[in-house]
Amino acid sequence: MDERTTGNARRRALTAIGLAGLAVAGSQAVATAAQARPGRRLTLTGTTESVADLRGTVGTADGDQIHLLGYHASTPGVGGGVLYWDADATEADNGGTVFAVTGVATGRWKRPYATRIDLAWFGWTGTGTGNDSPKVQAAVGALPAGGTIEAGPGKVRLEDTVQVVGVPIVFAGAGVTDNDEYSTQYVVATGADDGFHLSGVRGGGLRDLQVRGAGLTGGSIIMTSRNGTDGNYMLTFANVRFKDGYNGITLRGANTVRFVNCVWNGFNGQQVILLNGVNNDSRADPVEFVQCGIAAGSANRNTDNLVIDGLGGSIKFIATAILFGRHGIWMKNTPGASIPKFLYFEGGGFENGHGVPVLLEAGAQAQFTNTYISADNEDDNVRIGPGFTGTATFTNSVIRGCGRNGIDIASTRITVTGCLIGNNGRTAHPAFARTVTGAAANGAGRVRITTGAAHGWETGDRISIQGVTGTTEANGKWVIEVVDEDTFDLPAVAFANGYAGGGTGYRHGAGINIRDTASRVVIVGNAIGGLADGINRQDHGIVNAAADVLISGNDLNGNTVGPYQLTGTPTAQTRITGNKGVEQIDGWLTARVSGPVADGLFDFGNLLYLDSQRIRVVRVTRVVGSGTCDVRLDADGASAGGTAVTATTAVLTTSLVTPFTVDGVGGPRRLRARVLGASGVTDLEVQFGYQLVS
């Protein structure tokens, strides 16, 4: 058998062994089938202690092998392996898979590999004391068709941005951890620059490691962008801990990105995660977060968690928690082109933020279901601005614990169903008041209030003012118009008296506040009031200034002032019916007796028998032309269950503290008004208000 036949046979044998076999085949496994060629000798020439020694060792013949004990002589077994001599090679030494021999122009030592690279092959020691960026970048360059770069356990320090262009690279570690001394740590120390920059990458991502910043002053730990017209596609980040950075991740020109079991914490820049933020060509969608935790950190009150800015869509959150920082999710459109679309949030929720947990300023669609939305601050839990032109729905969710409104609605097509909304308005208390330092005429005859520091309020807020002397007409509960950060007007109050000093003001909150710019709002089947836990200072369950609303079937018990307050002008599109906690009158039993009135029974003009129904009597209104008497409702000639009330020449209305029920389901009941103790009575009018029970 000649050398060519022998080479072909050896090539077939190497193909059969495969990459996994290289690790166990010893000196016989020197190259992949693509790296062996006919005529190449495959013989072990010996061992070398380190790469430094390797670069001083010339291969004796094409295909010779050498056993590298370790990359560094001080750490045998780390970064070593079997290499082979490619006698015709002239490519550059990359410090990991290709090594040139000093003074030799042709011929290189090469590692056999296909798609998996160990970062230790490039001299990484895991100490994190030097700049490992060149080593990581060289490893990326050694995978021109994509593959996996493994590292760990140990620290990889990046002082320069790692660029990945076009190819799918997976950066894999030894396991996710929150401990800075265990497993694989990518330490990003790039100053104001990005850590990883993925451009036009079709696949790849990070998994099973921690990425943390060190003294960052700008940039993002991970940035994606287009490479010409090519965007990023099918990126996956699984079991990754991101921490202690400036901005976390900026996704631009990204399609089909998934984060699974990832956690972010400790970011002090503009936001933890930003989608788009520049133009239509940089949209990010779809993007999924599955069982993740996103938190700017308790110390970073001005850092937003997740911002969707400009065109993007199909952003899904499944069982994800968003905590601390300022705003939780913020949909907006500063680029001014197409709006973000299709935000879906199910399970998990928001807590401990210092801004608005759900802030929808611009967008086409947002859905929240089975979500917990809470904050401990002076803002709304959910705010939907007039620029949000699509639809938003909230179902089966708990919304509680902020300083103003549970949900503030200024937009159109908003639906809230099956939610628990309560314990909002927690800062509606003198302990959270602003100090009044002045009261004067505003130039239009109204009162203008000045505060000693920025009040932080908005036009349309409801506040209480107390303790003002001189301009005492300012004391009370009012809706304000903000002039600037420390001045606001009371449009409903005429200025009459000069300010003499004193005064404080604090802001109220409701379960749901519907502004006059809102329309097609549906609030159905919710419990809006005090919850079992926490502080409840909601004055009203719902405050409504809009005309086009359906508010029905809600439990509005447990609010400190009342179930709802209507401040707008109703129209044919206004429907507020069937809510608990509201004195609901479904009908009236009306009797009118002209002339002298004696004790006895009198028929109702609109109903004689209660038949196949059950009613609950809740209210009595009555008046006589002269004299006095008592009246009550009788059924079948006896009291229907209530006590008699007095009628006089003044119109009197009594809401019954203990309403009573009249049951006509089992058979017709004869209903009449009974007069008792009549004294000089003429011209009796009486009506009993009732609710239909069944």
Q: What confidence tens digit (pLDDT) does each residue in 589-611 have?
A: 999 999 999 999 999 999 999 99
pLDDT of residue 692: 83
Q: Which amino acid is at 581?
A: G
Question: What is the arithmetic mean of pLDDT over 278-298?
Answer: 95
Answer whether residue 25 shows pLDDT above 70.
Answer: no
Answer whether residue 274 shows pLDDT above 90.
Answer: yes
More confident site: 570 or 250:
250
Answer whether residue 46 shows pLDDT above 80.
Answer: yes
Token look-up 């015709």 returns 88
Q: For the segment 8-23, what is each residue's pLDDT rounded down to a tens digit?
A: 333 333 333 233 333 3
Out of 183-197, 201-215, 483-497, 647-661, pick the least confident.
Answer: 647-661
Quickly state the pLDDT bin for 43 (edges 50, 70, 90): low
Structure tokens that stand for 435 in this block: 């100090």
Preceding amide of 153 cis, omega within 30: yes
Q: Three-state SS for 9?
A: helix
Question: What is the arithmetic mean of pLDDT over 635-649?
Answer: 96
pLDDT of residue 566: 87
Question: What is the arithmetic mean of pLDDT over 310-328?
Answer: 95
Answer positive or negative: Cα dihedral of 595, 599, 600, 603. positive
Q: Which residue from 643, 574, 628, 635 is spatially nearest to 597, judged by alpha carbons?
A: 628
pLDDT of residue 280: 85
pLDDT of residue 338: 86
Structure tokens that stand for 644 in this block: 């008699």
Answer whether residue 5 shows pLDDT above 90.
Answer: no
Structure tokens that stand for 494 in this block: 């005429």
Burial (CB count within 10 angstroms: exposed 0-12, middle 13-18, buried 19+), residue 468: buried
pLDDT of residue 192: 98
Question: What is the arithmetic mean of pLDDT over 600-624?
Answer: 94
pLDDT of residue 23: 35
Question: What is the arithmetic mean of pLDDT over 513-523?
Answer: 97
Question: What is the arithmetic mean of pLDDT over 255-278?
Answer: 97
Quickly state the pLDDT bin for 572 (edges 50, 70, 90): confident
Quickly state the pLDDT bin for 673 (edges 50, 70, 90): very high
Q: For 516, what's the count of Cα atoms within 13 Å in the CB-facing half-sphere?
A: 9
Quickly state the pLDDT bin for 35 (edges 50, 70, 90): very low
Quickly state the pLDDT bin for 150 (edges 50, 70, 90): very high
pLDDT of residue 213: 98
Question: What is the arithmetic mean of pLDDT over 270-279?
Answer: 96
Token look-up 């208000």 returns 689
Q: Dihedrals φ, ψ of 50, to 5°?
A: -155, 170
CB within 8 Å of 376: residues ≥ 6 apart: 352, 401, 402, 426
pLDDT of residue 657: 83
Answer whether residue 297 shows pLDDT above 60.
Answer: yes
For residues 25 and 10, is the Cβ–Cβ distance under 8 A?
no
Quickly state the pLDDT bin for 506 (edges 50, 70, 90): very high
pLDDT of residue 15: 31
Question: What is the arithmetic mean of pLDDT over 202-207?
Answer: 97
pLDDT of residue 244: 97
Distance, in Å, from the CA atom of 300 to the CA atom of 236, rounded to the nearest integer, reads 27
Answer whether residue 6 shows pLDDT above 60.
Answer: no
pLDDT of residue 44: 59
pLDDT of residue 693: 78
Measure the CA angle with vertex 444, ends 440 and 448; round to 5°.
30
Out of 14-23, 78-87, 342-351, 433-442, pick the least confident.
Answer: 14-23
Chain-wide mean pLDDT for the chain? 92
Structure tokens that stand for 205 in this block: 């991502």
- Give the count of beta carbons closer than 10 Å to the beta carbon of residue 178: 12
Q: How many percent of the chain have pLDDT more than 70?
A: 93
Answer whether residue 94 shows pLDDT above 60.
Answer: yes
Secondary structure letter of residue 76 according to DSSP: T
pLDDT of residue 577: 85
Kindly list the distances between the CA atom of residue 611 and the CA atoms of 603, 607, 608, 636, 674, in Å, as whole numbers in the listed order.
Answer: 16, 10, 9, 12, 20
